[in-house]
Amino acid sequence: MTANKISVGVVGASGYTGLELVKILINHPEFELSYVSNSEGGIMLSELHPSLAGVYECKVLKADIDEMAEECELVFLALPHKTAMAYVKPLIAKGVKVVDLSADYRLPLEVYEEFYCPHTDVDNLSHVVYGLPEMFREELKSAKLVANPGCFPTSAILGLLPFMDKRVANTPIVIDAKTGVSGAGKKLSDVTHFVNVNDNLFAYNPLLHRHAPEIANKLQVDFDAVNFVPHLVPITRGMLSSIYIQVDGDFDAVKVLEEYYKDELHVRVSKNPVDMKNVAGTNFCDVYVKQKGNMLFISSAIDNLMRGASSQAVVNANIMMGISENCGVPNIAYVP
């Protein structure tokens, strides 16, 4: 371990979010990537991800809780729901801080079990911090376990937060969101098959997607108020949410948005409708608002793999470890 660096590990390095974590961490000035693992191990990182050949090399180990606890002060879990909680409980018990990218700790127990599966680590639900810095920055500073938000909730919540106190009570929140295919992960399916996705656009799991209760819970509204419809578009990465709410009062929506996010490093208020390309590869969320009478149109764009997962996880880890929030976080977009 390099002197004065904070030792961290990535569990679940095979997937897209695991790869993005590794890419950020190998150049992070304060973190040292000391442990990289997946479910099988026995392979070099450059074999698992040929894009890293000649850039960074290490062994990818078979995930072992005792080994990662010995090597790491903090661990990123880039694992599916249900799998992640099996690692969280023993890691927390061993004094290792955890940023969990799965859904396992984002929701209250009864809501989680309704939309996912039985929970096997109920005790840790009582002290987890939801990893959206714009909402819970102070709590993150002392957190031992962070639930990294979902990609759709990140985009939707950041768009809505400045206007929730102006929303007309008991009126619908409509969220029409588009996402790239990488959000579905690496596992093959009929839905994400090239022939099905190419030259195509379609909604999936409308109104009942698992991220809808997460949005409702964090905004403190009833689940029935959130009308969330995600769409899959034939691009690799990116997310665009078009949000519609009814508001009350005499106010300038642009000024409200600008004032709310004036001190935030990773939210940019745009004077024009936002797009995916300008945030690709970064932790930025770009937000735009347009007002027509008592209706607001809010548009927010993020990179689903970065702000929607891996770079936001690193920001959370930075805050947890007491270092600069922006440290090592990519901020130059993949343009053109």
Both structure tokens of 311: 């770079």
User: How many whole angstroms separate alpha carbon 51 and alpha carbon 295?
Assistant: 46
User: How many whole angstroms separate alpha carbon 203 and alpha carbon 208?
Assistant: 12
Say which of 58, 72, 117, 151 is annotated catalytic.
151
Under 8 Å between Cβ of 82 and 104: yes
Residue 72 annotated in active site: no
- DSSP states along 306-336: TTTTHHHHHHHHHHHTTS-TTTT---S----
Beta strands in 182-234 (DSSP E): 202-203, 226-232
β-bridge partners, 230: 177
Under 8 Å between Cβ of 61 and 33: no
Which ranges of the chain would DSSP assign to H, the alpha helix?
Answer: 16-25, 45-48, 65-71, 83-93, 109-115, 133-140, 151-160, 194-197, 211-219, 253-260, 310-320
The sign of the dihedral angle between the CA atoms of 13, 19, 22, 24 is negative
Overall size of the chain counted in residues:
336
Q: Which residues contact 201 (CB under 8 A, 6 or more apart)?
A: 231, 232, 233, 234
Under 8 Å between Cβ of 55 and 29: no
Under 8 Å between Cβ of 328 and 28: yes
Q: Provide the 10 A C-beta neighbour count for residue 121.
A: 18
Query: Which residues have a catalytic role annotated?
Result: 151
